[in-house]
Structure 1
Amino acid sequence: MKRKFKPSTIYLAIVFVILYAPIFYLMYYSFNSGGKMYAFDRFTWEWYGELFADTRLLIIVLNTIIIALLSAAISTIIGTIGAIAVWYVKQNKMKNLLLSLNNILIVSPDVVIGASFLILFTFIGIQLGFTSVLLAHIAFSVPIVVIMVLPKLQEMSPSLIAAAKDLGANNYHILTKVILPYITPGIFAGFFMALTYSLDDFAVTFFVTGNGFSTLSVEIYSMARQGVSLTINALSTILFLFTVLLVIGYYFISKRTNANGRMFGLGARK
């Protein structure tokens, strides 16, 4: 029998082709010795060589990674605390209000957020540069972490905490021995989402970046305005592959933590 493809499968295939075709087109021409985005001449590593020979660009890459790691780590801590605080709120009206305030920051246009931070930093006297970019990235990453952690808290059975209290656990032990182990997958998800958002953010970073400091997204935009160069393709290819590695790493980590979480749940029920 001939295998029939469902319309939904064909639709998804078309969507993925539309999404990924421009990326693979960009990656393909990053190896073009002709220096243009058409008429592929022959395979070369020339543009990658130019990329790694550019000391200034390597410093920008390092700045981007440091900003992403720091903002993701700090926002994960703040966001996890915020999610637990929201979860502990008993009044539905207050909880919905807090969640609405959190979601507003997620759905607000990046241009509005960036302009607001620019005005704020200028008003309070924070010099635009590393500090301003880090604070802005932390601010827009915290709501993402809250959204990723809160569902894990909501699916946790209240009987786990009740059992811990019956066994004599105090609030600190309940937090460290019951709540945090259970929501670890959500914490990892929030960290990786914050890391990814920080790496590819442009609009907010563009507003709060000062002279002498830049990130990859802003630098790629500046390079593109000066003309088409396949060094941009090489840089974008490396950034895309790095993001893919992050997704793969998150997949294996979440798979492992989910397995540990199931073991933890079985142990608690016993």
Structure 2
Amino acid sequence: MKRKRFKLSNLYLAAVFFILYAPILYLVFYSFNSGGTMSNFEGFTLAWYKSLFTDTRLLVIVLNTIVIALLSATISTVLGVIGALAIYTAKQKYTKTSLLSLNNVLIVSPDVIIGASFLILFTMLGIQLGFYSVLLSHIAFSVPIVVILVLPKLQEMSPTLIDASRDLGASTWDVLTKVILPYITPGVFAGFFTALTYSLDDFAVTFFVTGNGFTTLAVEVYSRARQGISLEINALSAILFLFTLILVIGYYVLAQRGSKEVRR
């Protein structure tokens, strides 16, 4: 009976992964099609990748997207760690619950509502839509994600660690930098990489706050897809998938190193 359940679970997982990855592999496969369509594979070619790397406008958009993602992930990680510490150290249960609830509301709110609210806010404040409006928006929706990933690591930490460091004469800064931050490092890395990936693939919020002369990759891919099938999009999707895979592997390696350092 156990063997049957084990085999059925493996079959279920294989079906789930097939549904998730088959469309991606389909795009990657036809990015090498010399026929220019996604219905008949005529032959292997790298022409679409060459065309992609000679598209100056698209390369600038890729650079804009990476810069926005790195800046927003870095700033939101710092703010998110501070926010998680504020919630963790709150003495009153009502205050802690209220802060956590306000944080979670931003996570479950629809992206369309968040994007529209930011558009109204920037218009009212007279902020020109472009680089800074996109950056601020990405920071805003990334901070709650970092908080929700860092907070469990703080809750796992035994209070005796802080008490012991206090008894040994550690200052508040020493407790933060030598006890708390090393312990929550895996959560910090998880928050950073999650914020980075959210920023890279965000479309709904960015669509509302982009202005003339500035756009991100998600919005550009959507605009090109509306114009018709172009295998440059397939080539771009293949590169993005590879980049995301490298990010996941990098996060896994850093998380493993952080866990080993904490154990030591």
Query: The TM-score by the shorter chain falls in which range?
Result: over 0.9
Name the SS of the counterpart of 1:234 in structure 2. Answer: helix
TM-score between the two structures when normalised by the length of structure 2? 0.97
User: Which amino acid is the alignment partner of residue 198 of structure 1?
Assistant: S
Cα distance, 1:34 vs structure 2: 0.2
Structure 1 segment 149-228 matched on structure 2, within 5 A: 149-228=150-229
TM score, norm. by length of structure 1: 0.95
Matches of 2:243 and 2:98 in 1, distance apart? 37
Number of residues of Structure 1 aligned to a counterpart in Structure 2: 262
Q: Write the letter of the residue equivalent to 2:150.
A: V
* Structure 2 partner of 1:266: none
Kindly state the Cα deviation for residue 108 of structure 1 after the two structures are TM-superposed: 0.5
Residue identity in the other structure for 2:234: N
Alpha-carbon deviation of 1:99? 0.7
3-state SS in 1 of match to 2:129: coil
* 1:97-176 alignment runs, 5 A limit: 97-176=98-177
What CA distance in whole angstroms lies between the structure 2 residues aligned with 1:125 and 1:8? 55
Deviating more after overlay: 91-100 vs 249-258: 91-100
User: Counterpart of 1:6 in 2: which secondary structure?
Assistant: helix
Residue segments in structure 2 that go unaligned for 5+ positions in a row: none
Aligned-residue Cα RMSD (Å) equals 1.1
- Residue 86 of structure 2: aligned partner: 85
Listed as ranges, the gaps of 5+ residues in structure 1 are 264-270
Instruction: Quote the offset at 1:6 in angstroms.
Output: 2.5
Q: Which residue of 1 aligns with 2:22?
A: 21
Tell me the secondary structure at the aligned position of residue 96 of structure 2.
Answer: helix
Which deviates further from its counterpart, 57-66 or 176-185?
176-185
* Distance in 2, Cα, partners of 1:124 & 1:156: 42
| Alpha-carbon distance between aligned partners in 2 of 1:198 and 1:125, rounded to the nearest angstrom | 24
Q: 1 CA distance for matches of 2:5 and 2:59? A: 50
Secondary structure in structure 2 of the residue aligned to 1:21? helix
Q: Distance in 2 between matches of 1:108 and 1:96?
A: 18
User: Aligned partners of 1:191 and 1:154: how far apart in 2?
Assistant: 19
Shift of 1:91: 1.7
Deviations 1:3-28 (A, max 9, x none): 98532221111111011100000100
Question: Is 1:30–2:24 an aligned residue pair?
Answer: no
Corresponding letter in the other structure for 1:207: F
Question: Given residue 260 of structure 2, which amino acid in structure 1 is its aligned partner?
Answer: A
2:81 is paired with a residue whose SS is: helix
Tell me how far apart the structure 1 counterparts of residues 222 and 18 of structure 2 sit (CA, whole Å).
25
Tell me: CA distance 1:4–1:150, structure 2 relative to 1, closer, same or farther (3 Å). Answer: closer
Amino acid paired to 1:146: V
Q: Post-superposition shift, 1:96?
A: 1.2
Distance 1:193 1:156 in 2: 22
Amino acid across the alignment from 2:91: K
Amino acid in structure 1 at the alignment position of 2:63: L
* 1:232 and 2:233 matched: yes
Q: Quick one: distance in 1 between partners of 2:36 and 2:93?
A: 60
Structure 2: distance between partners of 1:94 and 1:5? 46
CA distance in 1, matches of 2:86, 2:7: 45
2: CA distance, partners of 1:158 / 1:134: 36
CA distance in 1, matches of 2:224, 2:5: 47
